[in-house]
Chain A
Amino acid sequence: MSAPDAADVVRGRFEPGATEPLIFELGHPGRANTYFPNARALEEFLPAQTLRPDLPLPDNSELDVIRHYTRLSQRNFSIDTGFYPLGSCTMKYNPRVNDAMANLPGFRDLHPFAPDELAQGALALMYDLERYLAAIFGMAQFSLNPAAGAHAELAALLIAKAYFAKKGEGAARTTVIVPDTAHGTNPASAAMVGYKVVSLQSDARGRVGVDAIKAVLGPDTAVCMMTNPNTLGLFEDHILEIARAVHAAGGLMYYDGANANALMGNARPGDMGFDLMHLNTHKTFSIPHGGGGAGHGPVGVAAHLVDFLPTPVVRKTGDRYALDFDRPESIGPMRSFWSNFAHAVRGFTYILANGGDGLTKVSQLAVLNANYVRVKVREFLDTPYDEICRHEFVASAQELKRETGVRALDLAKALLDHGFHAPTMYFPLLVPECLMIEPTETESKETLDAFVAALRSIVEQAKRDPQAVLAAPTTTVVGRVDETRAAREPDLRWKAPA
């Protein structure tokens, strides 16, 4: 392969729908921007054998950089451009004031090794945020250390492991119970702590049955991981009996807080018998997902587990705040520095904007929106759990598939042509041809109506002309991608043409 001619790369680039070249194909050696003053030669300071011989990156003008990434941004669905009913992900509006606050120089330019006495504002914010989270979720204390939900799950399971080790039960307690509706990170986190996963089937009501859990409990039980409402959007109404049974067996109860948007201000995991929990602040508290991260995953514990929290925690003495690393029972730090702090600022800003009354209302309206969409979707798609849901619900395209060959995946792709993001698909695994829909509270009735109308028209079209739905999407910059080829012939990076 020879290097493409630069003129060929650019020619046609601006035609609508054209493939955007890679930044590596656009560059020209020497077309540099002037950000930095001249420096002396590296060889004056460092031995030649320590220096890299070449740096094969492209030089681009700033305008070309801006055009390139602006054009990429335009090939991307986002909350800012449209409705994003992605179940389990809580794609609510991300208030811009959060970003403005995170970007205040006093926060943005504060170094993590700044002495505590010169970082009192940051420490006070972390302390106050932690106190609010503890109040909202009924836990004794949170740590803001973990970087995302899965990271907090890992922290919580390490806490459980340290707790059992201290009790002298470390060798005996080897299993973690995970319902089949649980998110994949739950069993994956358990494996990273060396626990054996016991998978639990949901009952006909889409819940964890008390008898089912009693059947798997034993002296080997370390933790039972539950999501409530679960990923079917259903409230685990036997949660107290379940917690009692797990505690009677000597195990700990873990709350996956990814669905906290369904209950904050209305019920608290701490009151349901949970000993450990995490939050996805990047869902519930409106932190932008940024195309897959960064997140923010506070881990919370009941009183008997506080000493095991990751380091550091913020300690308050009188009116002074300090980072406390001296915690002999702690599982240790989970990451390089103290927290995804800029996200802590965003989450804190969101909590203060809403207030306690507002947060209570947030979950009520999230549940209202989900039920509103549910009763409308039920008119043309199966909703296997036909009852009041919480913040999300699942529909199944199994019947439609049998009738027309059109699957959940095809409905999802057709929605893209209507300008809507697809729901979460094929999760949870127990519902065949599953579509999991979570509208969030920040969507208006008119938007929900428009979404339902689009989905209805697609289902009708599937019955009339299934081929048309199978061909979707047709209005996007690319059609359905060849995933098999992507996996069989992995092309994971650009390489300079030989």
Chain B
Amino acid sequence: MYAPHTQSDIRDMLETVGVASLEELLRVPDAIALGEPLAVPRGLPELELQRTISAYAAQNDAAGYTSFLGAGSYRHYIPPVVPAIAMRGEFLTAYTPYQAEVSQGYLQAIYEWQSYVCLLTGLDLSNASVYDGATALAEAAIMAVNATGRRALLVSPAVHPNYRAVLRTYARGLELEVDELQFCAEEGTSGLDSLPALLAEKRYAAVVVQSPNFFGCVDVPGDSTRTAIEASGTVLIGVVAEAMSLGALVSPADWGAHIAVGEAQSFGNPVAYGGPYVGFIAANKEHMRRIPGRLVGRTVDGTGKLAYTLTLQAREQHIRREKATSNICTNQAHCALCATIYLAAVGATGLRRCATLNVERAHILAERVTRVPGFSRRFGAPVFNEIAIRVPDGTSAAAVLAGLQERRILGGVDLGRWYPQLADSILMTATELTTDGEIEALTGALGAIASGAIGGHAAPISGEASVVRA
């Protein structure tokens, strides 16, 4: 209990209020009064509390495994300066900056975040954040529906499966149609060649394309596709599920996106079993009054001094109620603050170098893994930090991943989970944290698993020390 009341405080205060007891203050009709104490154990002193919670944390064995997991959630180096500043109580325990005069610090930090998102995506404006990458996509789809008056969406199958699933959840609410493109099985890209024909009818509010896509591949529309998108008045929503890629690859604005959405967890936020992360939305200025959620603007105070404030609030739920552009209220401000401090600390030089390291590590990973007999690259397109690896004939991604797990390696995600035709492929991720030793451990284990599977008898675990680091 964190209440400071002494017994005599309670007595005095009850007397001031003019009631006899705390129970009297909270009286409710008999029929709904709680008859028994809550089925929650007695409170714990902090020492025991720490022990109890730590025991839960200790059961998450995955934390000690070598990991090549990614697929929308990325392990990256977080400079200690990020949490050291972000966890200051003045940031951490503030509410949404409604009172501008006493919230200039956070407002300015959000303005900087909005600016960073614009600089990285190449678009005109951005908001103070939304829940995560998937909901950013859903919100952008609603913007496109409102902008075009059309009620159908066309989505690449190489957009993150979880993002597509969330888009469908939101679409069911608004009764929007969601169609999917065919994907190109050789390249691992969106099959955008069929787009011009599909768009001719002007039925789609938006086309949704992700790059790097779920398979790690650079996947952007070519000139003729972009011309068809423009000619049909369709909004191109560009998804970036791995924000680190923005440090190296062509920006969404440069590949034609009118709205860019994505996940910025990679900037200074830990993987934390899936959240909280930070979704971003950036758009051309024609969408300014359709963008959801908080926007911070720069203005002046009564004396002409530079000042920041929440602005264009006539879009928002607390003013417009059912006519608002979105229902979002609480967003992910503190995660956006972490991302802002991260970007400030690494700077252009650090971000480019880190992004380059991701590219380098992923290519080394691909090269070493494909040297193991039977393993090959599933797709041909250039990749950022993830790569789809096909496992040897006669086995499956699931079986190989299980073998790796026995050797304390999380080899990646089984693409068959979402794409039955890709049950022979693993999506492996390397970041700047991936070491040569980890890659060696992986390839050693893959070799052992493959020879076991192909030879029909269990192969001994390879002798490399790093494989069995239990």
B380 at the A/B interface (Cβ < 8 Å)?
no
Q: Chain A residues near B348 (CB, 8 Å)?
A: 29, 55-59
- Check B356–A42 contact: CB distance below 8 A: yes
Which residue of B19, B69, B250, B317 has the most chain A CB atoms within 10 A of its CB atom? B317
CB-nearest residue of chain A to B122: A52
- Bound-state Cα–Cα, A91 to B96, Å: 11
B304-346 Cβ-contact flags toward A at 8 Å (1 or 0) = 0111110110101111111110111111111101001101111
A73 at the A/B interface (Cβ < 8 Å)?
yes
- Check B73–A356 contact: CB distance below 8 A: no
Minimal beta-carbon separation of A226 from chain B (angstroms): 13
Q: Chain A residues near B457 (CB, 8 Å)?
A: none
B302 at the A/B interface (Cβ < 8 Å)?
yes
Q: Chain A residues near B308 (CB, 8 Å)?
A: 481
- Bound-state Cα–Cα, A485 to B126, Å: 19
Given contacts A75-B104, A353-B49, A84 and B95 within 8 Å (CB-CB): yes
B391 at the A/B interface (Cβ < 8 Å)?
no
- Check B33–A348 contact: CB distance below 8 A: no
- Check B38–A342 contact: CB distance below 8 A: no
CB-nearest residue of chain B to A361: B1
A interface residue count range (under 10 / 10 to 19 / 20 to 34 / 35 or more): 35 or more
Pick the residue among A29, A40, A66, A120 that contacts B59 (CB under 8 A): A120
Minimal beta-carbon separation of A468 from chain B (angstroms): 15
- Check B318–A184 contact: CB distance below 8 A: yes
Pick the residue among B41, B53, B101, B329 that contacts A476 (CB under 8 A): B101
Given contacts A132-B40, A336-B134, A356-B42, A97 and B50 within 8 Å (CB-CB): yes
B201 at the A/B interface (Cβ < 8 Å)?
no
- Bound-state Cα–Cα, A369 to B10, Å: 9
A290-308 Cβ-contact flags toward B at 8 Å (1 or 0) = 1111111000000000000
Q: Which of A228-273 contact B (CB under 8 A)?
A: 235, 237, 239-240, 262-268, 271-272
Q: How many A-B residue pairs have CB under 8 A?
A: 694
B132 at the A/B interface (Cβ < 8 Å)?
yes
A48-86 Cβ-contact flags toward B at 8 Å (1 or 0) = 011110011111101001101111111111111100101
B469 at the A/B interface (Cβ < 8 Å)?
no
Pick the residue among A20, A150, A190 that contacts B322 (CB under 8 A): A190
- Bound-state Cα–Cα, A50 to B308, Å: 37
Q: Chain A residues near B17 (CB, 8 Å)?
A: 368, 371-372, 374-375, 388
A106 at the A/B interface (Cβ < 8 Å)?
yes
B103 at the A/B interface (Cβ < 8 Å)?
yes
- Bound-state Cα–Cα, A348 to B324, Å: 33
- Bound-state Cα–Cα, A456 to B382, Å: 68
B73-93 Cβ-contact flags toward A at 8 Å (1 or 0) = 101010101011101111111
A161 at the A/B interface (Cβ < 8 Å)?
yes
- Bound-state Cα–Cα, A95 to B410, Å: 35
Q: Chain B residues near A345 (CB, 8 Å)?
A: 53
B156 at the A/B interface (Cβ < 8 Å)?
no
Could you list 12 further interchain pairs (A-B, Cβ under 8 angstroms) beyond the known A94-B92, A101-B53? A50-B382, A80-B90, A110-B62, A125-B56, A151-B327, A290-B94, A291-B110, A336-B274, A342-B276, A355-B44, A442-B4, A479-B305
Given contacts A111-B271, A192-B327, A336-B72, A118 and B62 within 8 Å (CB-CB): yes
A473 at the A/B interface (Cβ < 8 Å)?
yes
- Check B34–A192 contact: CB distance below 8 A: no
Pick the residue among A19, A50, A263 that contacts B306 (CB under 8 A): A19
- Check A492–B306 contact: CB distance below 8 A: no
- Bound-state Cα–Cα, A240 to B33, Å: 12
CB<8 Å pairs between A and B, sample of 11: A69-B109, A97-B49, A111-B75, A118-B62, A147-B131, A191-B322, A237-B29, A295-B330, A334-B135, A349-B53, A480-B302
B373 at the A/B interface (Cβ < 8 Å)?
no
Q: Chain B residues near A286 (CB, 8 Å)?
A: 2
B168-204 Cβ-contact flags toward A at 8 Å (1 or 0) = 1110111100000000000000000000000000000
Minimal beta-carbon separation of B81 from chain A (angstroms): 6
- Bound-state Cα–Cα, A97 to B116, Å: 32
- Bound-state Cα–Cα, A118 to B31, Å: 45
- Check B247–A486 contact: CB distance below 8 A: no
B18 at the A/B interface (Cβ < 8 Å)?
yes
- Check B410–A184 contact: CB distance below 8 A: no
Stretch of B227-235, B292-300, B441-449 contacting A (4+ beta carbons < 8 Å): B292-300
A39 at the A/B interface (Cβ < 8 Å)?
yes
- Check B40–A351 contact: CB distance below 8 A: yes
A131-162 Cβ-contact flags toward B at 8 Å (1 or 0) = 01001100000000001111101100110011
Complex A-B, nearest 9 residue pairs according to Cβ-Cβ distance, in ascending order: A290-B334, A337-B274, A355-B43, A80-B89, A121-B59, A106-B57, A294-B276, A356-B38, A356-B40
B251 at the A/B interface (Cβ < 8 Å)?
yes
- Check A115–B405 contact: CB distance below 8 A: yes
Q: Which of A432-449 contact B (CB under 8 A)?
A: 441-445
- Bound-state Cα–Cα, A393 to B135, Å: 34
- Check A442–B26 contact: CB distance below 8 A: no
Q: Chain B residues near A72 (CB, 8 Å)?
A: 104-106, 108-109
- Check A22–B173 contact: CB distance below 8 A: no
Stretch of A30-38, A215-223, A398-406, A457-465 contacting B (4+ beta carbons < 8 Å): A30-38
- Check A332–B2 contact: CB distance below 8 A: no
Q: Chain A residues near B422 (CB, 8 Å)?
A: none
A328 at the A/B interface (Cβ < 8 Å)?
no
Given contacts A52-B250, A371-B17, A333 and B63 within 8 Å (CB-CB): no
- Bound-state Cα–Cα, A335 to B55, Å: 28
Pick the residue among A38, A39, A271, A332 that contacts B32 (CB under 8 A): A271
- Check A294–B2 contact: CB distance below 8 A: no
Given contacts A111-B410, A188-B326, A239-B32, A293 and B274 within 8 Å (CB-CB): no
- Check B85–A184 contact: CB distance below 8 A: no
A224 at the A/B interface (Cβ < 8 Å)?
no
- Check A494–B3 contact: CB distance below 8 A: no
B399 at the A/B interface (Cβ < 8 Å)?
no
- Bound-state Cα–Cα, A147 to B98, Å: 21
- Check B87–A76 contact: CB distance below 8 A: no
- Bound-state Cα–Cα, A39 to B115, Å: 27
Given contacts A113-B73, A149-B330, A338 and B274 within 8 Å (CB-CB): yes
- Check B13–A74 contact: CB distance below 8 A: no
Which residue of B38, B319, B340, B350 has the most chain A CB atoms within 10 A of its CB atom? B38
Q: Chain B residues near A27 (CB, 8 Å)?
A: 347
A187 at the A/B interface (Cβ < 8 Å)?
yes
Which residue of A75, A79, A118, A188 has the most chain B CB atoms within 10 A of its CB atom? A188
CB-nearest residue of chain B to A52: B250
- Check B93–A80 contact: CB distance below 8 A: yes
A193 at the A/B interface (Cβ < 8 Å)?
yes
Minimal beta-carbon separation of A435 from chain B (angstroms): 13
B465 at the A/B interface (Cβ < 8 Å)?
no
- Check B327–A492 contact: CB distance below 8 A: no
B421 at the A/B interface (Cβ < 8 Å)?
no
Pick the residue among B1, B93, B341, B359 that contacts A362 (CB under 8 A): B1
Minimal beta-carbon separation of B412 from chain A (angstroms): 9
Q: Chain A residues near B277 (CB, 8 Å)?
A: 336-337
